[in-house]
Amino acid sequence: MLGSTGCAASAAGAAGAVARQAAASGVWVQVNPGTTTAGFKLSVRADCGDNSNAATVTSAAFGTLTVQPWNTLLLAEVTVPQTTKPATYEVKVTCRTGSTGTTTLTILAGDQPAAGNQAPPPPGPHTGGGFLAGGGESGGGTRWFDGPTTWLFGSATALLLAGLLAAASVRRRRVRVR
């Protein structure tokens, strides 16, 4: 039989194993801002590994909501009800697979969110690794033949060649007519 110390140690070990399992599976949830007041909007982001299916987020601070797939994450917005009391609340995501992840949300007393804690806009679309934005190099360097200069030089060369071909064509026609 285990004593109270043994039970506490095995419970801590089990909790650690669950936390390691959630971290290994890549399941997490995030609220932004993490500190706010009742009546303000939060952005909720989550990751269930395979983010092609919706997941459920629950908290005593705002109830239950569904985060929907958007780009590579699961996203939703929620307004904290005016009746929510100041405290620190657990926010838990439950994925379709049964995996879970948690974070905390702090609700402050008052009617204004903590300074600088405004919900951010959703992230932009993932359009690649930025290879072309850095001038064609993964390091982001710029060479003399990158960018608008290349297009200008190429366009000018194409126009010059087209003009030379047109002139040669007209000259041949004049030679044949005589």
pLDDT tens, residue by residue, 45-62: 999 988 888 999 999 999
Query: Domain-by-domain residue ranges, the chain?
Result: 22-108, 129-178
The CATH code for residues 22-108 is 2.60.40.1930
pTM of the model: 0.51
**In angstroms, rounded to a whole number, what is the distance separating the alpha carbons of residues 74 and 80?**
19
The first and second tokens of residue 6, run together, are 């043994």
pLDDT tens by residue, 76-133: 999 999 999 999 999 999 999 999 999 999 999 876 555 555 555 666 666 655 555 5
**In angstroms, rounded to a whole number, what is the distance separating the alpha carbons of residues 120 and 41?**
10
- Cα separations (Å) of 160 from 2, 97, 127, 150, 154? 90, 63, 36, 15, 10
pLDDT tens by residue, 151-174: 777 888 999 999 999 988 887 766
| Cis ω before 86 (30° cut-off from 0) | no
Cα 43 to the center of its chain, rounded Å: 12
